[in-house]
C-alpha cells in the first residue's frame, strides 16, 4: 500500500493551520511570562482532585488519523502504571492501578497513526464509557463528531487535557477560551494568531487551569500525566510512579519548565 507520508513538522503545522481559536504569545502585550511553580516536597500549589472511593479513574484518548504516538503512549504508560495509596508503592503490571485508559474514535475501524502503527479503538463516541480524564493528542483527523464528544464528555470529567498541538483540537471545542495554554514551541505563534482569547504561555512544560490543562510538545505530555497523578494521589504517589518507570525527568515538578527556557 502506498500511503503518502508526511513529516512530523508538516503534521504539527497542518494541525495548527486547521484551527480557529486564539492565544497570545509571550513577548506580546497580553502574554504571560513564565512563573515558577512550587517544587518543594509535598503537593504545594497543586489543586487536588478526588479519586473515587472504589474502582479506577477512566481516562479517554480520542484518536484519529496521524495521531502522534508518544502523545498517546507516554501519558498512557504513566496512567497505566500509576502508584496509588492502595498499591503500597508497587507497580501494578496488570494495569489495574488507579487509572483505566482507553481509546475512543468515530468508528471502530483501525486508525493509522503518524509513523504507521495501527490503532483499533476500544470504543466509539456513541458507546464510550464516561471519562474522568480526557487526553487529546496531536493528530490531523479531528472531526465535528470528535469535538462534540469532547465538549459533552468534559462536562462531567475532572480534567480535559491536550498534548502538543492537540491544543488546537481543544481550542476548537471552545473549552480553552479565556484560559492560559501552551503547545509545541513551533506552534506558539499560530495558536496566538488564531485564538486571541487564549493566553499562550511559552517555555512551559504544561499549563494547568483546574479542569483544563495543556502541555508542550511530545515528551511534555508525560510530565503533565505525572502532574495529574499527583493531583489525584499526591506527590509521593507520582514520585513512586516515576521511580517504577525509571523516569528521571523532573519537568512534572516545575510547570514553568526551567529546562524548557530555550523554547520561550
- What are the respective helix, strand and coil percentages of the chain, to the nearest 5? 35, 15, 50
Residue 13's pLDDT is what? 56
- CATH (domain of 50): 3.40.50.880
* 31, three cell numbers: 502574554
Residue 162 is part of which domain span?
A: 8-30+43-263
Q: What is the mean pLDDT of residues 89-116?
A: 79
In eight-state DSSP terms, residue 238 is: H
Q: 258, 198, 247: which is closest to 223 by C-alpha?
A: 247
Q: Do the domain assignments include residue 37?
A: no
Q: Do the domain assignments include residue 162?
A: yes
122 vs 115, more confident: 122
Rounded CA-CA distance 167/145 in Å is: 17
Residue 242's pLDDT is what? 96
Q: Do the domain assignments include residue 86?
A: yes
Q: Do the domain assignments include residue 2?
A: no
Please give the mean pLDDT across all residues of the chain. 83
Q: Do the domain assignments include residue 38?
A: no
* 109, three cell numbers: 475501524
Give me the number of domains the chain comprises: 1
Q: 245, 238, 191: which is closest to 214 by C-alpha?
A: 191
54-94 pLDDT per residue, tens: 889 999 999 999 999 999 999 999 999 998 754 444 444 33
In eight-state DSSP terms, residue 179 is: S
Predicted TM-score (pTM) of the model is 0.82
Q: Do the domain assignments include residue 215?
A: yes
Q: Do the domain assignments include residue 35?
A: no
Rounded CA-CA distance 94/77 in Å is: 12
Range scoring the smallest mean pLDDT among 14-28, 124-138, 169-183, 231-245: 14-28
Q: Do the domain assignments include residue 1?
A: no
Q: 23, 25, 36, 32: which is closest to 255 by C-alpha?
A: 36
Amino acid at each position: 500500500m502506498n500511503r503518502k507520508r508526511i513529516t512530523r513538522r508538516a503534521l504539527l503545522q497542518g494541525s495548527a493551520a486547521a484551527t480557529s481559536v486564539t492565544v497570545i504569545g509571550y513577548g506580546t502585550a497580553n502574554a504571560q511570562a513564565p512563573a515558577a511553580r512550587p517544587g518543594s516536597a509535598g503537593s504545594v500549589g497543586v489543586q487536588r482532585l478526588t479519586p473515587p472511593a472504589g474502582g479506577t479513574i477512566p481516562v479517554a484518548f480520542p484518536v484519529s488519523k496521524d495521531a502522534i504516538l508518544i502523545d498517546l503512549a507516554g501519558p498512557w504508560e504513566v496512567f497505566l502504571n500509576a502508584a496509588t495509596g492502595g498499591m503500597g508503592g508497587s507497580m501494578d503490571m496488570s494495569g489495574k492501578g488507579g487509572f483505566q485508559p482507553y481509546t475512543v474514535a468515530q468508528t471502530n475501524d483501525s486508525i493509522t497513526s503518524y509513523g504507521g502503527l495501527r490503532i483499533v479503538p476500544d470504543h466509539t463516541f456513541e458507546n464510550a464509557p464516561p471519562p474522568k480524564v480526557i487526553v487529546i493528542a496531536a493528530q490531523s483527523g479531528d472531526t465535528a463528531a470528535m469535538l462534540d464528544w469532547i465538549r459533552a464528555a468534559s462536562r462531567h470529567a475532572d480534567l480535559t487535557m491536550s498534548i502538543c498541538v492537540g491544543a488546537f483540537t481543544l481550542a476548537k471545542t471552545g473549552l480553552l477560551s479565556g484560559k492560559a495554554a501552551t503547545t509545541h514551541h513551533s506552534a506558539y505563534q499560530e495558536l496566538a494568531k488564531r485564538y486571541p482569547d487564549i493566553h499562550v504561555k511559552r517555555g512551559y512544560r504544561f499549563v494547568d487551569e483546574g479542569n483544563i490543562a495543556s502541555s508542550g510538545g511530545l515528551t511534555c505530555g508525560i510530565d503533565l500525566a505525572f502532574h495529574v497523578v499527583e493531583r489525584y494521589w499526591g506527590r509521593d504517589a507520582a514520585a513512586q510512579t516515576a521511580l517504577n518507570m525509571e523516569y528521571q525527568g523532573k519537568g512534572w515538578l516545575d510547570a514553568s519548565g526551567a529546562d524548557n527556557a530555550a523554547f520561550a
